[in-house]
Amino acid sequence: MSILYTLKDIFMESGFYAIFADFTGSGWKVLVMLGIACVLLYLAIVKKFEPLLLLPIAFGMLLANLPGAAMFHEEIFAGGHVHWQMFAGSNPEIVPGLLDYLYLGVKLGIYPCLIFLGIGCMTDFGPLIANPSSLLLGAAAQLGIFLTYIGAKFLGFTSAESGAIGIIGGADGPTAILTSSILAPHLLGAIAVAAYSYMALVPVIQPPIMRLLTTKKERSIRMTQLRTVSKTEKIVFPIAVTLLVSLLLPSAAPLVGMLMLGNLLKESGVCERLVKTASDSLMNIVVIFLGTTVGATATADRFLTFQTLGIIVLGVVAFSMGTAGGVLFGKLMCVMTKGRINPLIGAAGVSAVPMAARVAQKVGQEENADNYLLMHAMGPNVAGVIGSAIAAGLLISMLG
Amino acid sequence: MSTAEVVTTGLLLVFGLLILITGVLYVLPLILNLPARLLSQKKAKKVASVPTLAETDASGIPGEIIAAIMAAITAEEEAQGVPYGNFRVVSFKKIGRKAR
């Protein structure tokens, strides 16, 4: 009989019991979240939607929504702060788990900066240096961020929440995660899922907008070959950008500084071991920790709200507006340069590197198969990374 | 801050900073190439200070001889590392021999 009682006790502590004992209360929400996690896993594995991040995010969501597993405790990070005393055991009912410790890297802004270090090591700013006007296209694409901010305010979000949602328009995952972890940590899970899902949908979202806003003649414009950029220029560039941006806007220093540090390590040519580590092992470790812990914040209470629906709708608005802003500015530059710039490269100003540049090339080749826009589009594409980091620093500074 | 203030300030600062970086990128090659340009200007001045041939009557000298002499001067300048082609033949004068 004691065996039966023991089995009964074990069953009553199980997740199945927790779900069905209170099915109409929180049980159905758990099942929905587990279902959503499985859908995201399908998108990541089968449809290959940004799998490097979406898979850990989806699995983190799955782990955090398992009743009784207690791998992540929202109470430790309630109110947007870290309650350090809970790590020391101040509340005997809350024993910090693995994901609580790993989440500190998100909360303290460490992981996004380390990812930017790796991105800097993998980025070639040559096309941007060869054609500095690409920076203006990168700036124009950030229009999506601020227009989405307006839309979010209209839907009733607070200023800080609107800023965190607007940054989805920057099409930059680490930037979105850093900004929302500071401005609206309770929306982090939804924002991260929206940001990475839409980044994977760039080849679907952008082309119709690009065709709508340009003429066939504009899309056929062939651009002259870019000049050769010297090694000295490539070395001076990250130092100059870091000094300029960080002195004028200190809140953008963490992201821009780490991006430029990674790039300087690469371009200097004297730190190959560091470049290899930063762009490979370190980045992979951070991506695993970041993705899993960000997904873990998407608990049923936070995710299954009308706010999440609003974020999903605003996310597609953000991407669309960013694309439109870049293309329209590209048209303006086309007129000012008397047809020397193809407006399609403006769409690459959203910083989904190199996906957006490839989309510009593909749409351009639909009109003229001999038109190679990829390297020209890489300029605005990497400029968008700098632009979205600056926009994030501004939003954090103004709204944080 | 109001919505309009956030949007206006944000866009102005993003564009402003990126325009500043654009300006730096346009100026950068000029600054980095300045020593090389100054050096080539100095060499061009040296070549310009070499006196050209005095103008005299050069009729009767075959064109092939003039072309051969020009080629020899160019080869000599190239060997010395001076930017060549910076001279113009105005005229030739025969000296030291009686005409045949």
**Which residues, 6+ apart, have CB-to-CB distance to A237 below 8 Å?**
A125, A129, A263, A267, B25, B28
A335, with CB counted inside 10 A (0-12, 13-18, 19+), is: exposed
Q: Are A343 and A94 in contact (CB under 8 A)?
A: no
Q: What is the pLDDT of residue A265?
A: 97
- The predicted model gives B34-48 an average pLDDT of 73
Q: Provide the residue count of chain B.
A: 100
The domains found in chain A, sorted by start residue, are: 107-399 (1.20.1530)
Residues A190 and A170: their CA atoms lie apart, in Å, by 16
Distance from CA of A265 to the nearest CA of B (A): 20
SS3 content of chain A, % helix, strand, coil (to 5): 80, 0, 20
Q: Is B14 on the interface with A (CB under 8 A)?
A: yes
Work out the minimum CA distance from B34 to partner chain A, whole angstroms: 13
Nearest to A111 by CA among A366, A323, A270, A288: A288
Chain B (29-58) residues lying within 8 Å, Cβ to Cβ, of chain A: 29, 32
Please give the C-alpha separations between residue A306 and each of A34, A61, A165, A186, A311, in angstroms, as whole numbers: 18, 18, 14, 13, 9
Judging contacts by C-beta atoms under 8 Å, the chain A residues touching residue B11 are 142-143, 146
- Smallest Cβ–Cβ distance between B14 and the set A139, A150, A232 belongs to A139
Question: Are the beta carbons of A233 and B29 separated by less than 8 Å?
Answer: yes
Question: CA–CA distance from B11 to each of A126, A268, A347, B16 (Å)?
Answer: 26, 33, 18, 8
pLDDT in tens, chain A (400 residues): 688 888 888 888 888 888 888 888 888 889 999 999 999 999 999 998 888 888 999 999 999 899 888 788 888 888 777 888 888 888 888 888 889 999 999 989 999 999 999 999 999 999 999 999 999 999 999 999 999 999 999 999 999 999 999 999 988 989 999 999 999 998 998 998 889 888 888 999 999 999 999 999 999 999 988 888 999 999 999 999 999 999 999 999 999 999 999 999 999 999 999 999 999 999 999 999 999 998 998 888 888 888 898 999 999 999 999 999 999 999 999 999 999 999 999 999 998 888 899 999 999 999 888 889 999 999 999 999 999 999 999 999 999 8
Count CB-CB contacts under 10 A for residue A250.
12
Largest CA distance in chain B: 99
Given a contact cutoff of 8 angstroms between Cβ atoms, the answer to whether A91 and A121 are in contact is no
Query: What pLDDT does B100 receive?
Result: 46
Taking the model in full, what pTM does it have?
0.81
Per-residue pLDDT band at B55 (split at 50, 70, 90): very low
CB–CB of B25 and A129 under 8 A?
yes
pLDDT of residue B62: 66
**Nearest alpha-carbon partner for A217 in A337, A380, A345, A343:** A343
- How high is the pLDDT of residue A115? 94
Predicted pLDDT at A178: 92
Peptide bond into B51 cis (omega under 30): no
Chain B residues close to A391, C-beta within 8 Å:
10, 14
Which residue reads 């995010």 in tokens?
Answer: A57
Q: Is A383's CB within 8 Å of B18's CB?
A: yes
Give the distance from residue A102's alpha carbon to the nearest chain B alpha carbon, in angstroms.
33
Q: What angle do CA A307, A313, A314 make, to 5 degrees?
A: 85
Q: Is the dihedral of CA B25, B27, B29, B35 positive or negative?
A: negative
Q: Using CB atoms, which residue from A138, A145, A237 is nearest to B18?
A: A138
Contact B7 A230 (CB under 8 A): no
Looking at the complex, report in whole angstroms how far the Cα of residue B52 sits from the nearest Cα belonging to chain A: 38
Whether pLDDT at B46 is above 80: no
**Does B45 score more than 80 pLDDT?**
no
Contacts with B, A 229-248, CB within 8 Å? 230, 232-233, 236-237, 240-241, 244-245, 248
Interface check for B86 against chain A (CB to CB < 8 A): the answer is: no
Distance CA A140, CA A146 (A): 11
DSSP 3-state assignment of A21? Answer: helix
A contacts of B26 (beta carbons < 8 Å): 132
Among B3, B15, B28, the residue with its CB nearest the CB of A153 is: B3
**B64 has pLDDT over 80:** no
Q: Which of chain A's residues have a Cβ under 8 Å away from the Cβ of B7?
A: 146-147, 149-150
Rounded to a whole number of angstroms, the distance from the CA of A179 to the nearest CA of chain B is 15
Q: What is the pLDDT at residue B48?
A: 62
Chain A CA closest to residue B27? A132
- Of B6, B13, B26, nearest to A149 by CB-CB distance is B6
* Chain B residues whose beta carbon lies within 8 Å of the beta carbon of residue A143: 11
Between positions 146 and 165 of A, the ones with CB within 8 A of B are: 146-147, 149-150, 153, 159, 163
Q: Taking CB atoms and an 8 Å cut-off, how many pairs form between chains A and B?
A: 89
pLDDT digits (tens, 9 = 90+) for B8-29: 999 999 999 999 999 999 998 8
**Residue of B11, B27, B33, B37 best to disrupt the A interface, most CBs of A under 10 A:** B11
Q: What's chain A's Rg over C-alpha atoms?
A: 23
> Does any CB of chain B come closer than 8 Å to the CB of residue A389?
no
CA distances to A147, A149, A151, B1, B2 from A158, rounded to whole Å, are 15, 10, 11, 12, 11
Top residue of A263, A398, A399 to mutate, by most chain B CBs within 10 Å, is A398
Length of chain A: 400
For residues B46-62, average pLDDT: 56
